[in-house]
Each structure stands twice: as C-alpha cells, then as structure tokens.
C-alpha cells in the first residue's frame, strides 16, 4: 500500500496506521481527494465535497492520535453522508431541483453528530435518486452516477453515490438510508457490504412521510468495518424518540443455528439464473457448516403491489402541500408516482395495509422458529442506466411507462423495513458480464450483533476475488 492509496484501506487498517504513526488522517484525506479529483470515468458519486474542511478535521484527528487521545474507532476515518440527511453548513438537495431555495441546515442530523463526536472526517455528500423514490442512480440535481464495475449500468439507489463511492475505493465508509432496500440494493449491485440495522438503531434525521420505514445504515467493504461503524453510529438521540430503546449486545445461540432460505418470494416473475445458481451454492455451503437449513414456503409473500400502493401514497403525502409550479420541477417519473398515489382510494389503501400487516405477522412467526433468513439481495444484477425494469420482466412496459413499481423487480427487501428487522447484504458473486450481486441475511429484531457475527462466518465462504481492489471497469 503506497501513500497514494491510503484511502483504499479498511477502517481497521487505517486506524491501526494512525495508532502506529505510520501515516496520519491528513495523509489519508489528501490521498482520498487526489483520487476523487483524478477520476476520468465520470462515476459522479458526490454532490458536495469539502477538501478544506476535511483537512482541518483530519489535522485535529492527527493531533489526537499523536497525543494518545483518539475519540474512538472512527477517529480520522473519512465518511460521506447521503444527501437526504442534514450536514451543518451544507445544502440538503435530496436529488431535486425543487430544493434550490431551501435554507442551509445549521445543525447536523443526529447520526452526523455521532460521527463528528467520534472524530470521523465528514468530507462530502453523496448522490441519491430524487427524494429517494427509486433504485436508480440518477436525479435532476446530480445527473447520473455510474456503477464502477460497469459504467453503463446503474449503481442502484437510492443510496447510489454511497455505493459507487465505496466500490470505487474512495474511502471505506458511507452513511446511507434504506426505506425499502436503498442501502441493500445498491450494495448488491456494486459488490459491497451494507447493513440495514434494526429500526432506529441509528437515530434518524428529521422525519419524512416514510419515517416509520426508514433505517439509516453503513455501506462498507467488509463485515468487520460494518461492526466498527456501528460502534459509533448506534447511539440514541432525543430528536428521535424511537432511538431511545435499551441497547444490549446479542450473540449467536449456543446451538445449531436454524436458518430459513428462500430463493424466490411468492410468484416472483424474474430471477437471474446466475443469482439463482449462486444462491443454491451458498445454501449448500451453509448446510455443510452443520446448521439446520429449511426452505421457506413464501406463497403468502406476493405483496409487492400492496407495498407499492403504500409507497405511492407516501410519495403523494410528501408533495401534497406543494404548489403546481414546485411540483413541476420533479422528475416526470416521480411526478407520475405522486399522481398515482393521490388517485388511490381509501379502500385500496386499507386492503394493501391489511395484506402487508398479515405478511408482517407471518414473518414474525417465521422468526419465532428460525434465527436467520437467507435470500438473494436482488433478483437481477444492475440494470442499464435509466432503466426501472429489465426487458425480460413481464410487467416491464407497465413499470417503465406507468407505475414505476421497483418493488416488483426487487421483492426481497421492502418487507423488512415494515417489520423493522436488521438485514445484512454481502457480495455473493458476479455474472459472466462482471456485474456483482449479493446475498441478504435477515435477523431477528434487535439481534444486530448476532447478525454481524453470522455474517462474518459466511463472508469467507462467499469471497472470491482476493484482496480488495477498486472496481472500475470499462462501460459494457
């Protein structure tokens, strides 16, 4: 590892170097910005960068390390913030042209405060799809964010910039958010690790129309780094009453694990053959570890349309107080979802809520019997830029031209936002076209530590590429 590549180190390797005096947070920050500025691929993960402020924070961290007074395991580590959370002094644009005149926040969001208090170097904000509405990596405000593995493909969303940044090697940690899959899907598409922790394990920024589904979560390159990040991020804040629950460490049961597996949810229309084959191999590997593994019957999990009805109604709620001129600044696809959400009847919404509540109750029963559930993280690898659905999906035209329902394409993630359970995504493989895809491990609510423990046991089985190298490939 040369001084030019210090930004590619893991969190633990980075802070070990700080402690030993081999290099400093200033060295890492300079290497990071030099690498970002040298990008010739147009990956475009950032909407805000602050080299001067980051270097000031890095110098303060360097002095703490030299004096033996580091604040914790993230002191001096560079971290980015998804542009749906407030950072004091930086605009929060939410991927939208409609936010240009909003006042600049004067206070950090709770999670950003935890990071700063822990000594992390907050160096920039990452791109998001507009208001986090879809798993695409584009917005009216920031334009296109490219997948470092295949530049003609999406990096996923809505934490699109966060996933692309970490996959490209530009720092080991990004803070994203997930209301239906928005850290897990881009992690799968970009071949990295992401955690959607138990609801409110990381305190939320000011609440939105999707507040009871949104989980903040780290995007990293290893379970070990995820664990370190959560040591700082998993804290309480009075601005988020849901975060004030008692926090106790959980451990794996002292017995054989009971693991449910599901390759498909309900009558799911599409599953890429490479993902299906890799998932079957993973199930065989888990079985070989001696755990009790059972296929889960998921006939009752055809709820993507119901989840989308709730999603569209909350999109409508998000913009219903705006005037027509402000709404006209939204992406036309988002505006269409807004209008569709407003056209839903009370009966339609009530039916969808009832079916989702029933699904949540049945999933609770599953976790009364099993410790973990394994699924693919996504049904397909990353789509070409600009696409909401693959051509092979039977409802492709309807999704692209009308509904925008990406839950129908990515059915594995949204339910666990509604049940508030933790879910971890690990890289599971790549297609013949070099596009990554991931494994999702779902745990019991509040059992985040046990989930990370189990993730660490599976991570070596899934690793296939050797030591980490930045993922930047020619466009496909």
- Say if CB 208 and CB 116 are below 8 A apart: no
Instruction: Choose, from 82, 113, 125, 196, the residue flagged as catalytic.
Output: 82
For the residues 431-437, what does the mean pLDDT come to? 93
Q: Which residues make Cβ contacts (< 8 Å) with residue 212, sequence separation at least 6?
A: 199
Instruction: Choose, from 80, 85, 155, 158, the residue flagged as catalytic.
Output: 158
Percent of the chain clearing pLDDT 90 (strictly above): 95
pLDDT at 464: 58
Q: What is the pLDDT of residues 255-303, one digit of tens each?
A: 999 999 999 999 999 999 999 999 999 999 999 999 999 999 999 999 9
Pick the CATH number of 3-244 from 2.60.40.1120, 3.40.190.10, 3.90.1300.10, 3.40.1440.60: 3.90.1300.10
Question: Which stretch of DSSP H or E encloses residue 445?
Answer: none
User: What proportions of the chain, in percent to the nearest 5, are helix, strand and coil?
Assistant: 40, 15, 45
For the residues 130-146, what does the mean pLDDT come to? 98
Domain 259-423+430-444 has CATH 3.90.1300.10: yes
pLDDT at 297: 96
The CA-atom distances, in angstroms, between 211 and each of 116, 182, 324, 415 are 24, 14, 25, 15
pLDDT at 471: 73
Q: What is the pLDDT of residues 98-124, one digit of tens each?
A: 999 999 999 999 999 999 999 999 999
For the residues 172-178, what does the mean pLDDT come to? 98
pLDDT at 466: 46
Residue with tokens 């394994």: 374
pLDDT at 205: 78
pLDDT at 206: 76
- Say if CB 372 and CB 441 are below 8 A apart: yes
Q: What is the pLDDT of residues 353-381, one digit of tens each?
A: 999 999 999 999 999 999 999 999 999 99
For the residues 324-334, what does the mean pLDDT come to? 97
Task: Check if 158 is active-site.
Answer: yes
Tokens matching residue 62 = 């360097």
pLDDT at 469: 59
Residue with tokens 């899934």: 462
pLDDT at 200: 97
Average pLDDT of the chain, as a whole number: 96
For the residues 203-210, what does the mean pLDDT come to? 87
- DSSP character for 393? S
Task: Check if 182 is active-site.
Answer: yes
pLDDT at 83: 98
Q: What is the pLDDT of residues 453-469, one digit of tens each?
A: 999 999 999 975 444 55
pLDDT at 1: 61
Domains 3-244 and 259-423+430-444 share a fold: yes
- Say if CB 160 and CB 136 are below 8 A apart: yes
pLDDT at 207: 80
Task: Check if 430 is active-site.
Answer: no
pLDDT at 474: 42
Instruction: Choose, from 182, 243, 318, 410, the residue flagged as catalytic.
Output: 182
- The DSSP bridge pattern shows strands 292-295 and 258-261 to be parallel
Q: Where are the domains of the chain?
A: 3-244, 259-423+430-444
pTM beyond 0.85: yes
Q: Is the pLDDT of residue 422 over 60?
A: yes
The CA-atom distances, in angstroms, between 12 and each of 147, 221, 323, 443 are 26, 12, 49, 25
């Amino acid at each position: 590892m040369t001084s030019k590549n210090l930004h590619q180190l893991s969190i633990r390797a980075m802070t070990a170097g700080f402690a030993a005096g081999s290099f400093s947070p200033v060295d890492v920050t300079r290497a990071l910005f030099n690498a970002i500025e040298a990008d010739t691929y147009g990956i475009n993960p950032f909407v805000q960068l602050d080299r001067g402020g980051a270097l000031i924070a890095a110098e303060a961290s360097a002095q703490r390390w030299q004096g033996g007074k580091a604040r914790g395991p993230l002191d001096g580590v560079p971290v980015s913030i998804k542009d749906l959370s407030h950072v004091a002094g930086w605009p929060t644009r939410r991927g939208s042209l409609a936010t240009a005149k909003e006042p600049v926040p004067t206070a950090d969001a709770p999670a950003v405060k935890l990071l700063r208090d822990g000594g992390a170097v907050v160096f920039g904000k990452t791109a998001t799809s507009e208001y986090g509405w879809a798993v695409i990596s584009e917005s009216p405000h920031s334009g296109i964010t490219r997948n470092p593995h295949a530049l003609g493909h999406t990096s996923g969303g809505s934490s699109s910039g966060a996933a692309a940044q970490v996959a490209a090697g530009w720092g080991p940690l990004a803070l994203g958010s997930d209301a239906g899959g928005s850290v897990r899907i881009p992690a799968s598409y970009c071949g990295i690790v992401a955690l959607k922790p138990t609801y409110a394990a990381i305190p939320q920024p000011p609440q939105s129309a999707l507040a009871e589904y949104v989980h903040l979560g780290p995007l990293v390159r290893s379970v070990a780094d995820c664990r370190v990040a959560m040591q700082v991020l998993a804290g309480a804040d009075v601005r988020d009453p849901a975060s004030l629950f008692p926090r106790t460490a959980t451990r794996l049961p002292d017995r054989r694990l009971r693991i449910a597996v599901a390759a498909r949810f309900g009558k799911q229309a599409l599953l890429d053959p490479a993902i299906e084959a890799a998932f079957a191999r993973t199930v065989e590997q888990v079985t070989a570890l001696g755990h009790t593994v059972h296929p889960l019957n998921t006939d009752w999990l055809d709820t993507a349309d119901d989840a989308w009805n709730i999603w569209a109604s909350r999109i409508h709620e998000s913009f219903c107080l705006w005037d027509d001129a402000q709404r006209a600044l939204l992406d036309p696809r988002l505006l269409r979802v807004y209008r569709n959400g407003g056209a839903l009847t009370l009966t339609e919404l009530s039916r969808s809520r009832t079916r989702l509540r029933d699904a949540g109750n049945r999933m609770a029963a599953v976790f009364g019997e099993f410790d973990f559930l394994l699924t693919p993280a996504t049904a397909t690898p990353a789509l070409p830029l600009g696409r909401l659905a693959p051509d092979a999906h039977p409802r492709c035209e309807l999704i692209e031209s009308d509904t925008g329902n990406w839950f129908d394409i990515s059915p594995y993630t949204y339910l666990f936002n509604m049940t508030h359970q933790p879910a971890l995504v690990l890289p599971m493989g790549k297609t013949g076209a070099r596009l990554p895809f991931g494994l999702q491990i779902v745990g019991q609510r509040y059992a985040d530590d046990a989930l990370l423990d189990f993730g660490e046991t599976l991570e070596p089985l899934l690793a296939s590429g050797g030591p980490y190298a930045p993922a930047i490939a020619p466009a496909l």
